[in-house]
């Protein structure tokens, strides 16, 4: 039997980006807030100091900061005919664990979606005709527009100190920025990062071909910065140990760097660490949540009653918690009915690798999200009329650090070992170079999440099952984008190059991104969405899923966290300004 704890106003499940922002905003409002976090407490000085943060084996290969599959994993399969099997060690995507969540070891590539991404289905129908959209493609409009979210994007960027150059300030195009981006109400809080040699070469080549390269917006910040919560961040030192690592310089925006110092000081906030929420509890009507149940490290079960439950457990685990708690109807791909688990999507990435002539790139000098990009082939920035696919992505040169266990370029045809391999590794390390595309993944009827019939977690509860594969549309899109990227690569006159467009089947063992989206999507219609435009459950109005990428109706050609952060602020305002005044459904 769970022991019952004193009631709180708000319980937050998971203290990553979403959870920290919501906890801060609601605690500041005077509410009594508790966060329950599955993993340990983590902080810069104790967990990733520059004395040993730069350890490729520990963090990059053995994945010390990530979730252990023993604690929670998924089963995966490419289609409904296969038997799903568990991911026994994570490698295709790498969920976070512990205070700060994946915000500790992300790269920091911080984008906004395009205005036309938000009304995707209506936009495409209007421009190309409804009959052009494949019948099994279940893309839908967001229930919120870019214009509505603009000020929330702005807030997240200022919280995180994002480095970049505006391309569109209040409708005025700006030289040096992204000419395709939606309007911005203000410039980025810090100027762009410096570019390493590879990115400078890419930008030059792209410009020659008539494109408009711009610096990628980055949460590795270019200069010291004090955010609106009064917290100071340091300058990025281009250490090259960023993605998969914590930042020892307080230079990569994360919950610990940007929010927790202010949040932890609030007397009406506490966090319960190493405690896993197992269920959102409902009252006898099933229409109201009474709080959550969690289990601590000694195996003891606790019940935390609360008036508002915020599900901030990262996209995949948001979905599983909703399924395990019986909130919302599970999706059934056969009938197409039900919503929880529907419209799971991912990201379609690809790359071109090269060896450059007589170039010393020093590609260990890197950041998680620096680089020069072009956006000509993202979203609907280009005419799709005769292309046979929809969607797109950005592309460019974004080196994240040539750490030699995982990054060791050699010429084509080199054996994998022996004298020849050794010679090639020594000679090519300084001139090997990769550029990449980062593309959309639209939703389909047969790509979804549900509970696995066979495999269980350490509490004996079913694992979540992922059924996913790339569809023709995405494969064609990737081919098209990779061809464009290869043209730019060619302009660099490399000694050799290899273009690798994304091909099916989706493989859970090849790292692509941890941009898992969908499953509790937001929408205007309860028949096709789990939460409404304020990320509030249609079925249980005191449960919110405030912004984790599980609410994306499909995935667009950018990294998710800018939008995740914006939605967190958007939901916080909806709760503060509307829900608290009149608790109940907001739509």
Ligand X SMILES: Cc1cc2nc3c(=O)[nH]c(=O)nc-3n(C[C@H](O)[C@H](O)[C@H](O)COP(=O)(O)OP(=O)(O)OC[C@H]3O[C@@H](n4cnc5c(N)ncnc54)[C@H](O)[C@@H]3O)c2cc1C
Binding site for ligand SF4 (CB under 6 A): 220, 236-239, 241-242, 245, 247, 249, 251-252, 367-368
Region from 136-144, 204-212, 311-319, 356-364 binding ligand X, contact rule CB under 6 A: 311-319
Q: Which does 247 bind (CB under 5 to 8 A by kind): other proteins, ligand X, ligand SF4, none?
A: ligand SF4
88 binds other proteins (CB under 8 A): yes
How does DSSP assign 281-348, residue by residue? EE-TTSSSEEEEEEE-TTS-EEEEEEEEEEE-S-HHHHHHHHHHHT-SPBPBTTTTB--BTEEEE--E
Region from 310-318, 388-396, 474-482, 520-528 binding ligand X, contact rule CB under 6 A: 310-318
Residue 160 makes CB contacts below 8 A (sequence gap 6+) with: 110, 219, 221, 227, 253, 258, 565
515 is known as an active-site residue: yes
Q: Pick one of 8, 121, 155, 244: the residue that binds ligand X (CB under 6 A).
A: 244
Q: Which does 369 bind (CB under 5 to 8 A by kind): ligand SF4, ligand X, other proteins, none?
A: ligand X
Q: Which does 416 bind (CB under 5 to 8 A by kind): other proteins, ligand SF4, ligand X, none?
A: other proteins
CA distance 177 to 192: 10
Sheet with 448-456, strands from edge to edge, namely 85-86, 74-77, 462-467, 448-456
Sign of the Cα pseudo-torsion (61, 66, 72, 78, in order): negative
273 binds other proteins (CB under 8 A): yes
**Closest distance to other proteins from the beta carbon of 397 (Å):** 13
Tally of CB atoms within 10 A around 452: 20
CA distance 571 to 577: 10
Catalytic site residue from 105, 384, 438, 515: 515
Q: Which does 487 bind (CB under 5 to 8 A by kind): ligand X, ligand SF4, other proteins, none?
A: none
CA of 396: how far to CAs of 162, 311, 435, 486, 495, in Å?
A: 19, 35, 6, 11, 19
* E strands present in 14-109: 33-36, 74-77, 85-86
Residues found in the chain: 587
Q: Which is nearer to ligand X, 15 or 323 (CB)?
A: 15
Sign of the Cα pseudo-torsion (322, 324, 328, 330, in order): positive
Q: Which does 297 bind (CB under 5 to 8 A by kind): ligand SF4, other proteins, ligand X, none?
A: other proteins
Residues 542-571 that bind ligand X (CB under 6 A): 548-549, 559-561, 564
Question: Which residue's beta carbon is nearest to the bound ligand X?
Answer: 16
SS3 per-residue string spanning 205-241: HHHHCCCCCEECCECECCCCEECCCCCEECCCCCECC
Region from 300-308, 313-321, 390-398, 498-506 binding ligand X, contact rule CB under 6 A: 313-321
CA distance 113 to 156: 14
Region from 73-81, 120-128, 483-491, 562-570 binding other proteins, contact rule CB under 8 A: 73-81
Region from 90-98, 160-168, 176-184, 349-357 binding ligand X, contact rule CB under 6 A: 90-98
Q: Pick one of 116, 151, 174, 270: the residue that binds other proteins (CB under 8 A).
A: 270
Residues 30-69 that bind other proteins (CB under 8 A): 39-41, 43, 45-47, 49-58, 61-62, 64, 68-69
Residues 109-148 that bind ligand X (CB under 6 A): 109-110
What residues make contact with ligand X under the rule CB under 6 A?
Answer: 13-19, 36-39, 94, 96-98, 101-103, 105-110, 243-244, 276-277, 312-314, 317, 321, 369, 514, 548-549, 559-561, 564
Residues serving a catalytic function are 515
């Amino acid at each position: 039997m769970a022991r019952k704890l004193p009631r709180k106003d708000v319980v937050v499940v998971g203290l990553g980006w979403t959870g920290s922002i919501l906890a801060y905003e609601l605690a500041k409002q005077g509410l009594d807030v508790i966060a329950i976090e599955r993993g340990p407490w983590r902080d810069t000085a104790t967990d990733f100091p520059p004395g040993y943060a730069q350890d490729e084996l520990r963090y990059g290969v053995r994945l010390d900061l990530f979730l252990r599959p023993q604690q929670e994993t998924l089963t995966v399969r490419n289609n409904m005919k296969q038997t799903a099997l568990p991911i026994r060690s994570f490698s295709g995507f790498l969920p976070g664990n512990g205070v700060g969540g994946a915000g500790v070891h992300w790269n920091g590539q911080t984008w906004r979606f395009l205005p036309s991404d938000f009304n995707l289905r209506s936009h495409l129908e209007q421009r190309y005709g409804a009959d052009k959209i494949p019948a099994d493609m279940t893309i839908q409009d967001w229930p919120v527009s870019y214009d509505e979210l603009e000020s929330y994007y702005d807030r997240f960027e200022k919280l995180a100190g994002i480095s970049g150059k505006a391309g569109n300030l209040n409708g005025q195009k700006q030289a040096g920025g992204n000419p395709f981006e939606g309007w911005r109400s203000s410039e980025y809080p810090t100027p762009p990062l410096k570019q390493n040699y590879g990115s400078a070469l890419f930008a030059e080549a792209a410009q020659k071909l008539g494109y408009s390269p711009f610096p990628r917006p980055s949460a590795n910040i270019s200069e010291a910065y004090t955010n609106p919560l009064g917290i100071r961040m340091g300058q990025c030192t281009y250490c090259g140990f960023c993605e998969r690592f914590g930042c020892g310089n307080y230079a990569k925006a994360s919950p610990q760097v940007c929010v927790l110092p202010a949040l932890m000081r609030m007397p009406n906030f506490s966090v319960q660490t190493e405690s896993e929420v197992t269920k959102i509890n409902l009252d006898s009507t099933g229409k109201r949540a009474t709080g959550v149940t969690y289990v601590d490290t000694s195996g003891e079960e606790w019940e935390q009653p609360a008036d508002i439950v915020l599900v901030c457990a990262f996209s995949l685990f948001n979905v599983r918690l909703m399924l395990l708690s019986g909130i919302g109807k599970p999706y059934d791909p056969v009938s197409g009915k039900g919503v929880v688990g529907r419209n799971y999507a991912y990201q379609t990435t690809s790359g071109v690798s090269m060896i450059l002539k007589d170039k010393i790139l020093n590609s260990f000098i890197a950041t998680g999200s620096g680089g020069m990009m072009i956006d000509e082939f993202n979203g609907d920035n280009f005419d799709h009329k005769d292309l046979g696919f929809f969607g797109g992505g950005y592309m460019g040169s974004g080196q994240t650090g040539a750490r030699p266990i995982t990054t060791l370029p050699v010429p084509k045809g080199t054996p994998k070992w022996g004298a020849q391999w050794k010679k090639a590794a020594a000679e090519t390390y300084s001139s090997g170079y990769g550029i990449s595309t980062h593309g959309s993944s639209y939703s389909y009827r047969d790509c979804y999440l549900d509970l696995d019939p066979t495999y269980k977690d350490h509490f004996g509860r079913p694992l979540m099952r992922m059924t996913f594969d790339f569809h023709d549309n995405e494969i064609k899109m990737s081919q098209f984008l990779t061809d464009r990227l290869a043209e730019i690569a060619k302009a660099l006159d490399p000694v050799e190059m290899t273009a690798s467009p994304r091909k099916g089947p989706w493989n859970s063992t090849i790292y692509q991104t941890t941009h898992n989206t969908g499953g509790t999507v937001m929408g205007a219609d309860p028949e096709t969405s789990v939460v409404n435009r304020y990320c509030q459950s249609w079925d249980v109005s005191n449960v919110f899923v405030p912004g984790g990428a599980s609410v994306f109706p499909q995935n667009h050609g950018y990294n998710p966290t800018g939008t995740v952060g914006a939605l967190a602020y958007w939901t916080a305002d909806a709760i503060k300004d509307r829900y608290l005044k009149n608790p109940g459904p907001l739509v």
